[in-house]
A = this chain, B = another copy of it.
Amino acid sequence: MTKIEGQPARRSEKLQERRLKIVEAAATLFIEKGFHQASMRDIAGKAGISLGNLYNHFKGKGDIIAAIAELETADLDLLLQLLEKAEGTGPDVLLAFARQYYNLHKTPSYAALSAEITAEVFRNPQIGEGFLATRQQLVSAVQRHLPPGLANTAITAGLFLDLVERAGQNAVGQPQKTQSAILGSLLDFLKRAVTLD
């Protein structure tokens, strides 16, 4: 009881760094090989720690997968905040958001991980819970910027997001020029769809 706090949390600080390094290593490998092809040995090796020690940080492989899925929501939370704070009416806000949302989804690592998670959620719905919760918030935020005369704005907001997501995913690996063309057509498409005559 002499030295209660020499350096407050120096140790758990290191620990958290280790944990982050593990998660990053796991994410890289999951993108490369998929959840079930990346082994615990792979992850430990890439994180630079021993196999046994890996189990001091995570209860098992399932926990790591869950941590990755949670990590994904961080990017979404950022965009969500931007959208919620946005002022102004009309389609402009939505289209500006769509541009960013598209850019996120066409990122190869994001797209690959998304695909992996989507497939996993079909069999293990619990994995996708946080993911769906964040998406629901996005739907609400988009909904608020849709024209008032529109029916079923909640569903329409969902469709808005659906399209941007898929368009981004399909743009992966395309040359820069094509990606820009897709973005342009996407924004036109969306503008017509969210504008009432």
Binding site for B on A (CB under 8 A): 32-34, 36-37, 111-112, 115-116, 118-120, 122-123, 151-152, 155-156, 158-159, 162-163, 165-167, 169-170, 181-182, 184-186, 188-190, 192-193, 195-197
Contacts and interface: CB of A to CB of B under 8 A. Distances in A.
> Which 8 pairs, one residue from A and one from B, show the smallest C-beta to C-beta distance?
A162-B166, A155-B185, A115-B119, A193-B193, A166-B166, A163-B163, A119-B119, A152-B185
A115 B112 contact: no
Nearest to A159: B189
17 contacts: A33-B123, A34-B120, A36-B37, A112-B122, A115-B119, A116-B119, A151-B185, A151-B188, A152-B181, A152-B184, A155-B182, A156-B185, A159-B182, A162-B163, A162-B166, A165-B166, A192-B195
Contacts of A122: 111-112, 115-116
A170 B158 CA distance: 9
Contacts of A156: 185, 188-189
A155 B181 contact: yes
B166 A186 contact: no
Contacts of A159: 163, 167, 182, 185-186, 189
Contacts of A170: 158, 162
A189 B115 CA distance: 25
A158 B189 CA distance: 11
A162 B123 CA distance: 23
Contacts of A32: 123
